Structures are given as structure tokens and as C-alpha cells.
Amino acid sequence: MTIQDYKNTWVFIETANGEAKNVGLELINQGKVIAAATSEKVVAIVIGQNVDAAVKSATACGADEVIVVEGEEYKDYNADSFTNVMVKLVEKYQPSVLMMGVTINGRDLSSRVAGRLQVGSAADCTAVEVGQDGAIAWTRPIYDGNLLSTVSFTETRPQIGTVRSGSYEKGQADDTRIAEVVKEEIQTPAEQIRTKVIEIIKSVAEGIKLEDAEVIVAGGRGLGKAENVAIIQELADVLGGAIGGTRACIDAEWMAPQLQIGQSGKRVKPKLYIGCGISGATQHLVGMDSSDVIVVINKDPDAPIFEIADYGVVGDLFEVIPVLIEEIKKLKAS
């Protein structure tokens, strides 16, 4: 068969307790763009247990079809069983594109499936578009996030890649939408399952997740030291938001790695982003430049980040932020 025989754009919908994770729903929205360019369908793939809610979410967010593999053995992610399922589905339906989120499971599954099918995989992408030749153009950071590279697979199908959460917005959910739901029964022989889940230890979330926050207060090298993170945390608390940081902050161990915003961190799209003591390296800007409103506080008037700011304050963050906090408290009290 030829590559022209492969049809449709697939999106793997990762689940947690039967609910769809946001990254998969975000990718459905971009999957619709890709599928429309080729007059094909966007198909959501759901593997798990008690996944009715995930199927409904995928449908509401734009999936034309949902393929479901459900069973107790798929309650938790298992590399062997999930790989077996995905490979069998691909071999049966022959999709042109298969997108997954950049998660621990997505990274693992995409590489295993690509290896089994002997095709390429573009990892850790920040954009996926239809190229001029009809092949998918996967954009991903290279050289520690300093450059962007575009990868295309012109001779093999499916075209597989993982895409970071936040690269695309989730479409407006429409609960009245109807999608074709196809249920497949696939079992993985016990002898093929080489691993099993002994225990799942959930991390204890403190405050609002960075990727879910509508307000983000971010700090850069201008904070000076770890103890000064407290000042942006206080501002974030007053605004009901979350804190984040540049790579410099994370490398200096002033903040936890999961709080990094940028090319090698998370891409965020809050309603309000306040950058404090951040000069504006490209590596950071690409992670937050889609924010609705950008406010910058920096004592250097020539800091590059001012170029993308909606509002800017030239001043010492240690003088500006306390005043800002007090004014916000007054407004909230009035």
C-alpha cells in the first residue's frame, strides 16, 4: 500500500480516573485543522476503564469519531498493553497522523508504537501544521531550546509526534455534538505484559497548577535569590494565581522544575501574566507570549520583554510589588 492509503488524524486521549486530560482535548482542536486541510476526519483514541466521560469530552471538543478500547486491564497505563492496543488499531485503521501529548505516558507510548511500526516519531513538539507538500510539519526545540527545527516524514505513515500541553487552545465544548463511537475488544496476552503497576503515589499539589492558572506571576534572574520568590508568591496569592519562573530560576534551584515557563518548560496562556525581573530571552518568551494581557516589572528599560508587554513598569520589583499588593488589597476590601 502507498502513503496515500493512510487516512485521518488521530489524537490519543490520555485519561485519569476516566476523565480526559486537557492536552488531548487541546490536540483535537488542532487535529480538526489538519483533518480539514485533507478533507478527512479527526479521530480520538481512548484506552482505559469507565471512560464515558472522556468519550463525551472528546466528542464535545470536536472529534468526528471516537475509538474506544475499554477494560479493567487498562485502568492504569501499562507500556506493554497500551502499545499492543495502539499498534493493532493503527494496523487495522491505518491513520495518516497520530498525535499524543508530551506527558510521561505519551512520550513512552509514542516511541514504543513508532518502534514497533518502524516509523519515525517527532518528540516534544510545540507546533504541528500541514506542510506545503501535504506532509505534517512538526516543530520542536533543539540545542537546549535556542533553535526550532521542523521535522517531516515524507515516506512513512503514520506520522507520529508528541505535542506539548498549551501549544493549542482547547476548542469550545459543544455538548450537543454527536460522534461515531467505535468499540474495539483487544486483549494483550499475559506473557506479553512484562511490567505491572505496584503502587501509584500521587504528588501533593500546592495551590493552582501553572498550566490551569488564569493569573501567573513569573520571576526571573532579577529576584536575586531563592528567598525572594516569596514576594512574587504573595502577589500571586492576592490575585488568586500561580507562580512560575524562567530557566535561570530553575537552574539556580530557586523554584521547582515544574514551574519553568519557556521552550524547555511549559507553554502557558493565562488571562494575566506578570513578569518580574525577567529580561526576556527568546527561550522564555515563546512559553508565555500568547497570554491575554502581559504586564512587565523590570528596572532595565531596554529589557527585550517590554517589546511584547501590554503594560510595563520600569522600576525595582522589590519596591513596586509591595505597593501593588497593598493597592490590590485595598480594591478587594472596598
Q: Which three three-digit cell numbers place residue 207?
A: 495551590
Closest CA to 163 of 210, 114, 98: 98
Q: By three-state DSSP, how is residue 128 classified?
A: strand
Q: pLDDT tens per residue, the chain (334 residues)?
A: 788 889 999 999 999 989 999 999 999 999 999 999 988 999 999 999 999 999 999 999 999 999 999 998 999 999 999 999 999 999 999 999 999 999 999 999 999 999 999 999 999 999 999 987 778 999 998 876 678 899 999 899 999 999 988 888 888 999 999 999 999 999 988 888 888 888 877 665 566 788 889 999 999 999 999 999 999 999 999 999 999 999 999 999 999 999 999 877 888 989 999 999 999 998 899 889 889 999 999 999 999 999 999 999 999 999 999 999 999 999 998 8
- What is the pTM (predicted TM-score) of this model? 0.76
User: Rounded to whole angstroms, how far apart are CA atoms 159 and 155?
Assistant: 10
Across 205-238, b (16+ Cβ under 10 Å) vs e yields: eeebebbebebbbbbbbbbeeeebbebbbebbeb
Q: Which three three-digit cell numbers place residue 155?
A: 515516506
Fold match flag (3-192 vs 210-333): yes
CATH topology of domain 3-192: Rossmann fold (3.40.50)
Q: Which three three-digit cell numbers place residue 71?
A: 477494560
Q: Where are the domains of the chain?
A: 3-192, 210-333
CATH of 210-333, one of 3.40.50.1220, 3.40.50.1820, 3.30.2350.10, 3.40.50.300: 3.40.50.1220
| Cis preceding-peptide flag for 158 (omega within 30 of 0) | yes
One-letter identity of residue 109: L
Following CA atoms 65, 71, 72, 73 in sequence, which dihedral angle do they give, to the nearest 10 degrees?
-90
Q: By three-state DSSP, how is residue 60 classified?
A: helix
